[in-house]
Structure 1
């Protein structure tokens, strides 16, 4: 999910039998409106402000077990670059994450096998072109 991060925090759980607290990690999905958080950042978060909450309720994006219930308030300790120098995270590309790469070749081959057409001619990559040139050369 874009603009969403998974946040871990440590809570204490009471064990009745041993009468002792134990540490346990709790996880929450938190909305990052600027999409700039990195792994390792220390943040504060809380529930959505009333104005944003109303808009999200109209769209059906609040409530439920796995939906986002919290929003980033501030970055206390950034990990790596300073917050002012960061740019938005880029996921995939305009054409899609498979376009033109080895993943696309595998995907085409798998779909062809599933449909029972056998092997399908997939676009060759640089290494495949070199291998094909060596195998097609006639021995002297």
Structure 2
């Protein structure tokens, strides 16, 4: 048998790699994922600036960052997201909509939508 990379074909006919190049070191991959998460965390800070200071206790960063190295598998991550992260984010999203409007809310949701696949890859 030959190990081939896992690819997918989009509706437009483009081919996308679904897995990383096995030649890359795993530590290098983890560093890339951390960099991408850091970028998202920084964008979150900017987006949450519309809220009054002290009006929220938790953010996506404060809830996920301390636990990045503790996820044992995909199910563990999914349970963590469903039970802990999503309820907190729903409150934040509602606050952002009230104070910052629909545009700010949409930007925050788009940022979170970028972050979740990165977390899945991290596990």
Pick the TM interval, shorter chain: under 0.3
Looking at secondary structure, tell me which structure has more helix per residue.
Answer: 2
Looking at secondary structure, tell me which structure has more strand per residue.
Answer: 1
Larger Rg: 1
